[in-house]
Amino acid sequence: MSWFEAKAEKPKIPPAKALWAICPRCGSHMSKETWKKNGSICPKCNYHGRLPVRERIAATADEGTFEEMFREVSYSDHLRFHDASGDYRSKIEATIAKTGEKESVVTGRCTIEGHPVVLGVMDFSFMGGSLGTGTGERIARACEAAVAERRPVIIFSASGGARMHEGILSLLQMAKTSAAIAKVKEAGLPYISVLTDPTTGGVSASYAMLGDINITEPRALIGFAGRRVIENTIHQKLPDDFQSAEYLEKHGFIDRIVERGEMRRFIAKMLTYWGF
């Protein structure tokens, strides 16, 4: 067979998502390197994408100061939950293998522009940032450490709510974490709550809304029940911007919307104001 009669192989072109980051809001394309350098923020419409937990820590803590605590604390499977798609233990072990994390929140000590704090950052990629027994235990222990060491508490929330696989044990974490935050306040220590996209369900109904100051990033989704559930319940059409950071700030649920690039500086300013 002559060379010009042979069938040419189709060139292997990588999919667009392998080369480009695509803004979910405006559809703009940019290189993944540009997206990452810009802190996962769209340079055209200012959409704030979700940050991986370790990137959030790196963007918040002073370089080299983060000391992780309570990594040994993980999930519990007292109910031996399973459904049609499989058992809980297999699902969460697969999540641990994929993410490298053992729970939906990472806690530790660090400084923020020189201010010593206890920091907690939720990981939405870990089962939707769901609130499980391990999550609640890590937050409670972090609060105890903060009281013992006289450090303010900063928690970045990102969650779809309570972890249904752990049933009532998950819901109990709402009370447990709220009580732990109360101990921090009783000790005269500040608690800054940062609600990132999304913060919903049992997390928004507990420690995420208990900050001495509650702040968020632009256009973050913050609420309890889903929009469709609420509309079907009250039989009314909700505003287009309902459950957005801007809507909540306007109605007094949020104290301040802070750009991601200003977040670290703003937190440090608040800590200076409190004298910590």
List the pLDDT tens digit at each of the 276 positions of the chain.
555 565 656 656 555 566 788 888 888 888 888 888 888 888 888 889 889 999 999 999 999 999 999 999 999 999 999 988 899 999 999 999 999 999 999 999 999 999 999 999 999 999 999 999 999 999 999 999 999 999 999 999 999 999 999 999 999 999 999 999 999 999 999 999 999 999 999 999 999 999 999 999 999 999 999 899 999 999 999 999 999 999 999 999 999 999 999 999 999 999 999 999
The dihedral through the CA atoms of 195, 102, 22, 20 has a sign that is positive
Evaluated on CA atoms 226, 230, 236, 241, the torsion sign reads negative
Residues of the chain with CATH 3.90.226.10: 50-274
- Give the whole-angstrom CA distance, residue 105 versus residue 90: 20
Is the distance from CB of 136 to CB of 177 less than 8 angstroms? yes
- Cα Rg for the chain, rounded, in angstroms? 21
Question: Helix or strand or coil: residue 117?
Answer: strand
The widest CA-to-CA distance across the chain, in whole angstroms, is 86
117 neighbors 271 (Cβ within 8 angstroms): yes
Token pair 């913050």: residue: 222
CATH code of the domain made up of 50-274: 3.90.226.10
Extract the tokens encoding 29. Answer: 């394309």
